[in-house]
Amino acid sequence: MKKFINNIDTLIDESLSGFTKAHSDIVELNPQPHFIKRINPSKSGKVAVISGGGSGHEPLHAGFVGTGMLDAACPGQVFTSPTPDQMMDAAQAVENGGGILFIVKNYAGDVMNFEIASEMIDFPNETVLIDDDVSLPKNHSTGRRGVAGTLIVEKIVGAAAENGVDLPTCKSLGDRVNEVTASMGVALSSCTVPAIGKPTFELADDEIEMGVGIHGERGHETIKMRSANDIVTQICEAIDKDLKPQKGQLGLLHVNGFGATPLLELHLVYNIAAEYWGQKGINISRSLVGNYTTSLDMAGCSITLSLLDEELIKYWDAPVHTANLRWGC
């Protein structure tokens, strides 16, 4: 294993310190317990939007703290849920009279710890649970995982909160975006968790893994390597079958890299996916391509389609100023 590491035990501390120094105009770090919060004050009465999860998915979530998106993010250790005290202290730090909205990816540890925090804080609070991964069936025992669609929910709900929308409406909006968002990923190689020092699973040189999660989990199928057209079409078909978009609908197409795939390839994937839905009469009116919900050094990508209406477009287009997503400011 070759990585830029001094000590496994201090990796997260040092990384968070560097992140907040690099973006000191936007965020600040609370060292113990860890959370990142926005510097610029929000309006009184604004809903505070908080998310979090294991490290290793950067820039999710800390990279999306700032104006028009998250008020705070709680990072756990690599691929490990943050603890309830992180959420509770973050809520105390950013609550401003409008209550707290937690955005939680559907992983058992995240769900449990955010639920504990929500029961222990004194502020009104709601939770949006993200489960956009269509590689798992809807009746899966623990439900579908929350993956790259999380960013889309955070952006749209964050914009609504910034514009004064109240807590119940932000909760309803987040649930609605989640319902019209579907994702699926494919890995060309596994990732290496620093504390383990070896790949979480092995693939032969001529194999790829369909339906992977973002924690180094295997997918639902190991298949032989094939053309980009064939791989992308298989993913798009699974998403299309789940969302059932109608001809003429507006869509946001997000191609997300897992950390080790160059933009040269990600834009090729986007081109194939955009043509797939274009041929079905879906109007891809918004796009996002790049590494946003990563899995350490995994090679591969995910494709996300969100169905849009005019309200969702308004909040997607609204100004945002964070370390890793910014426009309109």
- The per-residue pLDDT for 207 is 98
30 and 91 in contact (C-beta within 8 Å)? Answer: no
Q: Which of 57, 61, 140, 220 is catalytic?
A: 57
Examine the residue annotation and report whether 140 is marked as an active-site residue of this protein: no
- The per-residue pLDDT for 195 is 92
pTM reported for the whole predicted model: 0.97
Structure tokens at 155: 């952006």
- The per-residue pLDDT for 238 is 98
* E strand spans, the chain: 27-30, 35-38, 48-55, 66-67, 72-78, 100-105, 125-130, 181-187, 207-210, 221-224, 250-257, 283-290, 300-308, 320-322, 326-327
Q: Which of 215, 220, 254, 267 is catalytic?
A: 215
Examine the residue annotation and report whether 61 is marked as an active-site residue of this protein: no
- The per-residue pLDDT for 168 is 98
Distance CA 89, CA 122 (A): 12
Distance CA 42, CA 55 (A): 26
The per-residue pLDDT string of the chain (329 residues; one tens digit each, 9 = 90 and over) reads 899 999 999 999 999 999 999 999 999 999 999 999 999 888 999 999 999 999 999 999 999 999 999 999 999 999 999 999 999 999 999 999 999 999 999 999 999 999 999 999 999 999 999 999 999 988 888 899 999 999 999 999 999 999 999 999 999 999 999 999 999 999 999 999 999 999 999 999 999 999 999 999 999 999 999 999 999 999 999 999 999 999 999 999 999 999 999 999 999 999 999 999 999 999 999 999 999 999 999 999 999 999 999 999 999 999 999 999 999 98
Is 8-180+316-327's fold the same as 181-314's? no
- For residue 74, count CB atoms less than 10 angstroms from its CB and return exposed for 0-12, middle for 13-18, buried for 19 or more: buried
For the chain, domain boundaries: 8-180+316-327, 181-314
34 and 87 in contact (C-beta within 8 Å)? Answer: no
Distance set, CA 268 to CA 12, 105, 140, 241, 280 (Å): 33, 28, 32, 22, 19
Superfamily of domain 181-314: Dihydroxyacetone kinase; domain 2 (3.30.1180.20)
Report the CATH fold assignment for 8-180+316-327.
Answer: Rossmann fold (3.40.50)
- The per-residue pLDDT for 142 is 84
